[in-house]
Structure 1
Amino acid sequence: MDSQMKKEFEKSKSKNKEERYEAYLNILEATEQKVDWAYEVWDQLLEDLTHKDNHQRSRAAQYLANLAISDPEKRMMKDFPRLWEVTKDEKFVTARHSLQSIWKVGLAGTEQKELVMEYMVDRFKDGTDEKNYTLIRCDIIQNMRNLYDHLDDEKIKQTAIELIETVDEKKYKKKYMDIWK
């Protein structure tokens, strides 16, 4: 990892809100492509998934989701449950930001895609007891759309449509279907 990227990770924990946000954006941008330094920060990010500061938890989850494409050892296959836990964070904004980025894990390969899809399908089906479950479902369907747009995998679209068909409330069924128009 070069010194500039090290600085970005340091700045992402800064007390200065603007500096922290700028570093956050720079790290997300850098991790949109494969990087050769993922394992230099991997373990720290895993630790940060349970950090006392919810912003740290959210950033760690988003960085790890992005870094899945830079994971030739497939550590994510073992670490994914820890990442998924942040999508159920006590702070809803943290949970939501984590959930909205989780689809990127599926870009790392077939095994990772199947893992992410399995977790999202289960949550869609079994998460109706959760507070704000309609928003969570919307994020899950949007995640599937994002994966489909990147991978052009008809099975993803088919799964999403089948899930939407199980929704009884017309208002939400329409909202979810609109994502696929």
Structure 2
Amino acid sequence: MDSITKSYFENLEAKDKSLQLEAFQNIMDATKGKVDWAYEVWDQLIEWLTDPDNHRRSRAAQFLAGLAISDPDKRMLCDFPALWEVTKDPKFVTARHSLQSIWKVGLAGPEQKEMVLNHIIERFKNGMNEKHYTLIRYDMIEGLKKLYDEINDEHIKEIAMTLIESEEDSKYRKKYLSAWK
């Protein structure tokens, strides 16, 4: 890991909130492409998924989702359950930020894509007792659209349309469909 990237990770813990935000954004930008330092931070990020600090949990989930494309050893296949758990975090903003990034895991390869799709399908169908489930459903549909836009897999679009059609309330069906316009 180069010294600049290392400083970003250090600055996540800075007292200055603007420095933290800048570091966060720079790391997120870096994870949009493949990086050679994923495994240098991987284990630490896995630990952060259960940290008492919700900011650490949120950052770890978002970073790991982005780092999935830089995971040739396919660690994500084993670590995904811990990452998915943060999408159900008691702190709703943490859960939501995590859920909004989870689609990126699907960019890592066919196995990872199927894993993400299966989790989204299951939760969309069975998560109606969750608090704010319509927002959660919207985030998942939006994530499917982002994944579709990146890899252009018609199967993803079919899944999204099937899930949207399964929504009984026309108001929410229309809202979910808006993510695909």
Listed as ranges, the gaps of 5+ residues in structure 2 are: none
- Cα deviation 1:55-84 (Å, max 9, x = unaligned): 110000000000000000000000000000
CA contact (8 A) 1:13 1:56 kept: no
The answer to whether 1:23 aligns with 2:23 is yes
Measure the CA separation in 1 of the matches of 2:58 and 2:131. Answer: 19
Q: Which amino acid aligns with 1:51?
A: D
Counting matched residue pairs gives 181
SS in 2 for 1:129: coil
**Displaced runs of 4 or more, over 4 A:** none
Q: Which amino acid aligns with 2:58?
A: S
What is residue 177 of structure 2 aligned with on the other side?
177
- Cα deviation 1:7-47 (Å, max 9, x = unaligned): 10010122211110000000011111101110000000000
Measure the CA separation in 2 of the matches of 1:158 and 1:133. Answer: 21
What is residue 63 of structure 1 aligned with on the other side?
63
Measure the CA separation in 1 of the matches of 2:167 and 2:118. Answer: 18
CA contact (8 A) 1:69 1:105 kept: yes
Q: Which amino acid aligns with 1:115?
A: M
The answer to whether 1:45 aligns with 2:48 is no
- Cα deviation 1:157-176 (Å, max 9, x = unaligned): 00000011111111000001
Measure the CA separation in 2 of the matches of 1:133 and 1:170. Answer: 15
SS in 1 for 2:128: helix
What is residue 2 of structure 1 aligned with on the other side?
2
CA contact (8 A) 1:69 1:108 kept: yes
Measure the CA separation in 2 of the matches of 1:159 and 1:53. Answer: 35
Identity value in percent: 63
TM-score by length of 2: 0.99
Measure the CA separation in 2 of the matches of 1:87 and 1:180. Answer: 22
TM-score by length of 1: 0.99
Q: Which amino acid aligns with 2:120?
A: M
Measure the CA separation in 2 of the matches of 1:23 and 1:34. Answer: 18
RMSD: 0.6
Measure the CA separation in 2 of the matches of 1:159 and 1:46. Answer: 29
